[in-house]
A and B are shown apart, each in its own frame.
Chain A
Amino acid sequence: MITAYLKRAYSSFAAHVFDVPPRLLAFLLFVLHLVLPVAKPDPFIQLTVFDIFFLAAFAASWDLLVGRSGQISLGHALFFGIGGYTTGILSVNLGLAPWITIPLAVLVGVSASLLIGLPCSRVKGPYLALVTMALPLILVQLFKLDLLLPITGGEAGVGILLPIIPSAFFRMLGFGSRDAIRAVALATYYFALFLVFAASVILYKIANSKTGMVFVSILDDELASKACGINVTRYKLMALAISSLFAALIGAIRGHFATIVSPGRFLDLTVSFAPVMVAFLGGIGTIYGPLIGAYIYYTLDRFVLQKMTQIPFLAFTDWEHVRFLIFAVIVIVLVIKWPRGIARFVTDKLHDLEEARDLDERGKWIWKTYKKRKKKE
């Protein structure tokens, strides 16, 4: 009886949640993040959420390319890394301010994507995936050349980048040096929050605009889109350029916050694999899915797998490798069993429930009218 009651309560609750417009949900989420540092002033949680923001926005840019336009890039770290390295090199070697170097980094990232896209997007096939996968690792090798070593720093990377929000600014306003550091941390958090929400909203709007529809039509049937008079190559390039724009922007800003741009954090294969993982966890092709996916990923990573290392039997010395292995297995299982991801799975379930509720109400209505008629008779 209790289970039946709970089931009913859940279904009514779920139906009500579904009634809430997604715009309101997104707004609530935004407000929740807005008050988080005030409600829980824990620097660890703040930093984790900060990381989640960047991963989510990066994965959303990947999702627009792969989930919407169907071009697969297995090396999105290329654009992320180009963004980070361009701003890093300009800022360290020339001493330019971040507001000049970041737009330049985005420009370089977009032109790189167009250079790669021109040969690869003309032909249908796995070319783009292979080229983008290979280029970051070739770039790492290139950066180690004697010629480029003084500029790029090789394995150690470029450092130290100028901060976007300098603590001198707060000190000028009359903060003490300790308060200034705290204020910078808070300002950084809010900066990242606004950036990520702005990027996600823009990406979502693009994905659901007329151009986004064209992307989906190319994904569904390239030949039919061609027959409708769509310049397929142009739109494919456009998707690649938009995606790389956001990836480079996020990479550049991430570089300024991390203060050091190194191959391991910006151009590695694991960096390329992160958005794939997050997008499939959250739901590919949704744009908002990666945010949920990033939360799931970090919860799994920080709170489940790190707790597992404390179990004596599982305390491998090479835990890093096992962690990565587990995530790769999760991706395979998700792709095969839940290709629509967790966010889509939940919304689909809610949709089903709503339909069931509608049917239920219709059934009740029919039963009532039937009874009324019987009474009349």
Chain B
Amino acid sequence: MIENILINGAILGGLYALLAFGFTLIYGVSGVVNLAHGAFFMIGAFIFSALGPFLLSILGPLGVTSTVIPLLALILAAIFVGIAGSIVYRLTIHPILGDEVAIMVVTISVALIIQQLVLIGFGFSAPVTPFVSGSIKIIGVSVTYMKILAFVLSLGLFVGLWAFINYSKIGAAMRAVSQDHEVAMLMGVNTETLYMLTMAISTAFATLAGVFFTSALLAGQAVPHMWLEPLWASFAIVVLGGLGSIKGTLVGAFIIAYVEHLVAAVFVSQGGVIVRAIPIATMVLILLVRPKGLFGKRIEME
């Protein structure tokens, strides 16, 4: 029981961290509350499910092994959605930057458009098969290799992006823009390109999270309506950890994941509904107790 919560909660936490990182990144850098984040998560899984057979039909006869193809499809899907995300940003969000109401209306419209496009193009569900099969027992809990792979990859990507933001030149530009975008512009940062790049990274990470989620946790089925819950979860994590704080995102993701698993273990029969309400309940609680979140000082990147 406790081992179950410990291990599954950790895996969910890793995935949540990956999901929320993109959300907090675009919020911290450009101040955009991207309500379409969950939609990119969803469409990523669908594109991955379409790319897998397509790549197999092209590269299969050339002798590429079937273990490489899912990874290739994952990378291609991330790149594709990243480019799409930055185009969406340039076309829809950039003209209204700074107007909070307009941004929220536009991003929710984008999310609905993506949902409808997926419904038209892919139908009501698509299979996202795990790339690796088999399972292993860790302290008495059976964990599939896919879950372990997803956990390791998401934590690795999280650390990679954190290092990118903290030690690269573009990351320095991102931090500068998040602190004061006018001064950053004076220092020669091209904010428009930077915002587009940030959006591309954010949506690519959402895609990766979407593929890992559907293949490792959601029984391998992607559905067009699955964008809302990740959106609330990532928002709740970001609020819990403090808006724009990377450390807070990581801690918040694990807290929310563990709380969800704990509650699911306590209310076994009615778990589904209550677990869904947890992110929102946590958010309301945090707003009441400590509105700036656990690690939030001001809205800025650490």
On A, residues with C-beta under 8 Å from B are: 66, 70, 72, 74, 118-120, 122-123, 125-127, 129-131, 133-135, 137-138, 141-142, 144-147, 269, 273, 276, 280, 316, 318, 321-322, 324-325, 328-329, 331-332, 335-336, 339
Contact = CB atoms under 8 A, between A and B. Distances in A.
A298 to B, nearest CB: 19
Contacts of B287: 119-120, 122-123, 127
Contact of B101 (A70, A118, A141): A70
A339 B116 contact: no
Interface stretch (B11-19, B172-180, B270-278): B270-278
Contacts of A335: 96, 102, 105-106, 109
Interface residues of B, number: 39
A336 B95 contact: yes
B108 A273 contact: yes
18 contacts: A66-B101, A72-B105, A118-B288, A120-B287, A129-B35, A131-B284, A134-B228, A141-B276, A145-B273, A146-B270, A316-B120, A318-B119, A318-B120, A328-B112, A335-B96, A336-B95, A336-B96, A336-B106
Contacts of A118: 288
A125 B270 CA distance: 32
Given A322-B120, A325-B117, A131 B105 contact: no
Interface string B24-43: 00000000010100000000
Contact of B280 (A126, A131, A147, A280): A131
Nearest to A129: B104
B254 interface: no
A135 B279 CA distance: 11
B291 interface: yes
Closest 7 CB pairs of A and B: A325-B116, A119-B287, A141-B273, A126-B33, A328-B109, A123-B291, A328-B112
B92 A332 contact: yes
Contacts of B228: 133-134, 137, 269
Interface string B109-123: 110110011011000
A324 B116 CA distance: 7
Contacts of A336: 92, 95-96, 102, 106
Nearest to B236: A130
Interface of B: 33, 35, 92, 95-96, 99-102, 104-106, 108-110, 112-113, 116-117, 119-120, 228, 231-232, 235, 239, 243, 270, 272-273, 276-277, 279-280, 283-284, 287-288, 291
Given A122-B291, A127-B283, A141 B105 contact: no
A119 B288 contact: yes
B116 A322 contact: yes
Contact of A332 (B110, B270, B288, B291): B110
A322 B115 CA distance: 11
A117 to B, nearest CB: 11
A131 B283 contact: yes
B288 A145 contact: no
A331 B273 contact: no
A72 B104 contact: yes
Contacts of B291: 122-123
A89 B81 CA distance: 45
B232 A280 contact: no
A131 B101 CA distance: 15
A144 B273 CA distance: 9
A123 B239 CA distance: 12
Given A74-B104, A141-B272, A134 B232 contact: yes
Contacts of A322: 116, 120
A313 to B, nearest CB: 15
Contacts of B277: 138, 141-142
Given A125-B243, A141-B277, 18 more contacts: A66-B101, A74-B108, A126-B33, A126-B235, A129-B104, A131-B283, A133-B228, A138-B277, A141-B272, A144-B273, A269-B112, A269-B228, A276-B108, A325-B113, A328-B116, A329-B109, A335-B109, A336-B96
A119 B284 contact: yes
A72 B116 contact: no
A242 to B, nearest CB: 18
Nearest to A142: B273
A111 B239 CA distance: 25
Contacts of A331: 105-106, 109
Contacts of B279: 134
Contacts of B96: 335-336, 339
Contacts of A126: 33, 100, 104, 235
Contact of B100 (A72, A276, A329): A72
A336 B117 CA distance: 21
Contacts of A339: 96, 99, 102
Nearest to A123: B291
B280 A135 contact: yes
Given A70-B101, A335-B102, A324 B112 contact: yes
Contacts of A144: 273
Contacts of A329: 109, 113
Contacts of B113: 325, 328-329, 332
A123 B288 CA distance: 10
B118 to A, nearest CB: 9
A72 B239 CA distance: 17
Contact of A138 (B92, B116, B120, B280): B280
Nearest to A330: B109
A127 B283 CA distance: 8
Nearest to B231: A130
A98 B270 CA distance: 33
Nearest to A141: B273
Contacts of A325: 112-113, 116-117, 120
A273 B112 contact: yes
Contacts of B108: 74, 133, 273, 276
